[in-house]
Structure 1
Amino acid sequence: MSILTVTDADYVLASELQIDHVDNLQTAPSMSLRDVVEATFENHPQGSVITALHDEAAALHQRSDSLIAGYPMIYLQYIDGKPFNPSSSVYATYAQTAYQIPIWMWGQRDASQAMADTADKGALLFAGAIRHEMAGLVRTALWNLRLVENRRMLADEVYTVSEQLFTSVKRRVELGDLALSDQLLAESDLLEKQSLLTQAEAAVMDTRRSYINLTRLEKMPANFTEILSNRKEIVDIHPAVAAANAMIEKEQAHVDYQRTSKQGNQPTIALGTQEEKLAQLSGGWFHEMNVIVQIPIGGDDYNAPFVAQANLLLNQKLAERNQLLRQLEKALHEAEHTLAVDRKTLAIAEQRKQLAEKQIGMGRLAFENGEIQLIDYLKILTIAQAAIRDAHEKAILVERDIAFYNQVVGVTP
């Protein structure tokens, strides 16, 4: 036998070609797409950011609920005239004590409450935006997995056909019906299909690992197809847009709060006592009530940079929202176009698949009857199998396009 001829021991069954997987991904019929999204969201690192946003909102509410506008202080003052008048019998001694309380400026507490309310809203909508982002990642991971598993399945079928063909050719060579060169050609084709199947298995393994890494799950839903949304444009309830608008409202409330503040120079009320003693009088201390009201005036020039800084943050959020809308509008156009094209090409691919199945049958009969050479039959198989593979893949791509369209218009499972 030729040194180029491969023995039967060199060939294995398709099931034995599978690469040992390090993962254990199982299909769960009862699991839904929503279940996967929720599990991914709960395990995502952004959860700490969401918690921090809720903590910020709680702190702002605590400030707004307070009856005072800052830190209260104890005021103590002692004045003694004797050290400067040691030889005089006329001097006075004073002792003052007071509890000083900062009070809200006009409209400042309402502005603080608005900051707290918008922070609450922003935290909730930010969580919704992250959940929607996770939905997009999960959709991509699942449909990538569906694609590579389909390719692996078709590679398995193609390998089986090639294996059967090799067995048939080898038998006919032994009977003297075909030349040894035909057996070598069939062997080469089988090795090629074996390599493709191994590569398909490796792709499945890598994609499964990506899914597990993202979701932290070892299960996937059996069915995750979706119904196409009837939304035709990007609306304000889109999770990402809603979160961006909430951030704008929060920064606007911050600007309003800065305009009503004096950067720590709050109005204050001090309530206390004043003790007074005159040296020329033989009596003791005079007890008096002390009320002090401090009201800051002016200072807008000093406060202007703080307002400007808050306004800068507001405009940054506005720019980010507008940029987001542009990106979503572009993505929507691409999603619509891709879905329309894939639907049309799917119809063509289905027709090609039907023709390919007929060509395979006719080619096999022609080869068995000696009407065509093996190399011509292999060409027919290659073209026909590519058409069948394309039809299967187009069907998956249309379903994936629907999921991606829903993602773009803001549908969260």
Structure 2
Amino acid sequence: MHRISTRGRWPGLCAWALAWAAWPNLATGAAEPAPTLSLPQAFERAWARQPEAQALPERRASGLAQREASRAWTPEPVAVEASVRSDRWHRREGAQELEVGVAVPLWLPGERERAQGLAEAQLQAVDARALLAQWQLAQALRERWWALQRDREDLRAAQERLQASQALADDVARRVQAGDLSRADRHQADAARAQAQAEQALAQAQAVASEQALRALLGLAPGEPLQPADAPEPEPAPDAAVPAHPLLQALAAQAASAQRAEALAAAQSRANPELTLLQGRDRSARGEPSAGSVTLGLRWPLGRSERHRATLSAAAAERTELEAQLARERERVDAERHSAAAALVAARAVLAAATERARLATETRAFFDKSFRLGETDLPTRLRVDQDAAHAQRELARARIDLNRAIAQQRQSLGLLPQ
């Protein structure tokens, strides 16, 4: 039960602030607790909303169709040819010639095998791009997830600070009326309470902003509850086998596709040849018997065009760029892994120091609280000690969350998805 005092210099503002601080607890007591949402559950929900996830089945279907096309016997479908030649428009002697046949496109030497290799590489690149999109989504989700955890913890600390400052202001007001303290002490207590009110309002606004950012990523309705679990992700074992990084997998798949595309462009030095088979029947004049014939033809384009050289150069440039980018990203990924490991070690050290500081600050506050009640300590010293203790508790809560965030960042640097 929260006390709302109207004594002091700003009674209306104090009552509003305490009522606002009590509202989340009252709302929680009036309704059933919201179900806890784990990080893997949030990741699955966020991934289902991504455009890459929704387009993935069609992209895979396209890759499978391209692979089947590269395995066909001809690079293009067989065409049917038909032609009729007659003299009815000029001589009208009944001469007529009819030809019906098929035109079969042929693969160039080595083209079919290289087309199959390109299709397989592109199909693998589809899955690699999907994994890269998941990894990028995991990074955004982890950042917003732990930002909300930290902002909510700051809000809780600000509410506790406001309640403590209000209790102290009430105690100082009673002692001022009793003549034990001066009005200047009361003003200092009221000023500390006002500062706590401002900190609580800022923390509330920051927590709302972080919650809305996470809601937008998850696609939650305005009235849908959001209670993220504060459990950390499992920390990877130092000797555990780590799969290839999604970013490096995607770049390697793109580089392999570019290499296969360059090989295919080198094989496609000219247009595809065509084999034609025609069945014909003709007569020289009206009343003459018809004669049949079979025609077998081969169409083979000659020479290399400037368009082929341009295509080959563009494919080579794409391959070179992707291979260079892959080498640079591999170096950057290695550096990020070392940085994440160092940050995790630092987070553990900060948590240990913050735990010790919070313990000492809490004990010190208890000492000065007792001495203040006995009149052995002045109010400014008591306010300073309270502020130090509150700051130490807030830094301890932040250090716990920062350790969980450091574990998440290490998993992110290793290319591991939430689990």
Picking from 55, 67, 84, the partner of 1:61 is: 67
Asked if residue 315 in structure 1 is aligned to residue 340 in structure 2, the reply is no
* Equivalent residue, structure 1, for 2:264: 257
State how 1:68-79 maps to structure 2 within 5 Å.
68-77=74-83
Residue aligned with 1:67, SS: coil
**Backbone CA RMSD of aligned residues:** 3.2
The aligned amino acid for 2:308 is N
Picking from 306, 324, 329, the partner of 1:324 is: 329
Residue aligned with 2:342, SS: helix
1:236, 1:242 within 8 Å by CA — same for their partners in 2?
Answer: no
1:19, 1:198 within 8 Å by CA — same for their partners in 2?
Answer: no
* Equivalent residue, structure 2, for 1:155: 158
1:125, 1:246 within 8 Å by CA — same for their partners in 2?
Answer: yes
The aligned amino acid for 1:222 is A
CA distance, structure 2, for counterparts of residue 252 and residue 207 of structure 1: 44
* Equivalent residue, structure 2, for 1:165: 168
Shift of 1:231: 5.6
- Please report the TM-score for the alignment, with normalisation by the length of structure 2: 0.85
- Please report the TM-score for the alignment, with normalisation by the length of structure 1: 0.86
1:53, 1:119 within 8 Å by CA — same for their partners in 2?
Answer: no
Moved over 4 A (4+): 7-10, 18-21, 76-84, 92-95, 231-236, 276-279
* Equivalent residue, structure 2, for 1:137: 140
CA distance, structure 2, for counterparts of residue 71 and residue 313 of structure 1: 30
1:17, 1:198 within 8 Å by CA — same for their partners in 2?
Answer: no
* Equivalent residue, structure 1, for 2:357: 352
Shift of 1:232: 8.2
* Equivalent residue, structure 2, for 1:244: 251
CA distance, structure 1, for counterparts of residue 129 and residue 62 of structure 2: 13
2:39, 2:229 within 8 Å by CA — same for their partners in 1?
Answer: no
Aligned residues: 401
Unpaired segments ≥5 residues, structure 1: none
* Equivalent residue, structure 1, for 2:209: 206
Structure-2 change in CA distance of 1:184 and 1:68 (3 Å)? same
Shift of 1:27: 4.7
CA distance, structure 1, for counterparts of residue 23 and residue 386 of structure 2: 30
2:18, 2:163 within 8 Å by CA — same for their partners in 1?
Answer: no
Unpaired segments ≥5 residues, structure 2: 1-6, 25-30
The aligned amino acid for 2:76 is G
CA distance, structure 1, for counterparts of residue 304 and residue 243 of structure 2: 40
Asked if residue 40 in structure 1 is aligned to residue 43 in structure 2, the reply is no
Structure-2 change in CA distance of 1:125 and 1:10 (3 Å)? closer
CA distance, structure 1, for counterparts of residue 178 and residue 48 of structure 2: 66
Shift of 1:167: 0.8
State how 1:5-404 maps to structure 2 within 5 Å.
6=9, 8-12=11-15, 16-18=19-21, 27-29=34-36, 31-48=37-54, 50-51=56-57, 53-77=59-83, 95-217=98-220, 218=224, 219-230=226-237, 237-262=244-269, 265-278=271-284, 283-299=288-304, 303-404=308-409
Shift of 1:190: 0.5
CA distance, structure 2, for counterparts of residue 347 and residue 110 of structure 1: 61
2:149, 2:230 within 8 Å by CA — same for their partners in 1?
Answer: no
Percent identity over paired residues? 20
Residue aligned with 1:12, SS: helix
The aligned amino acid for 2:290 is W
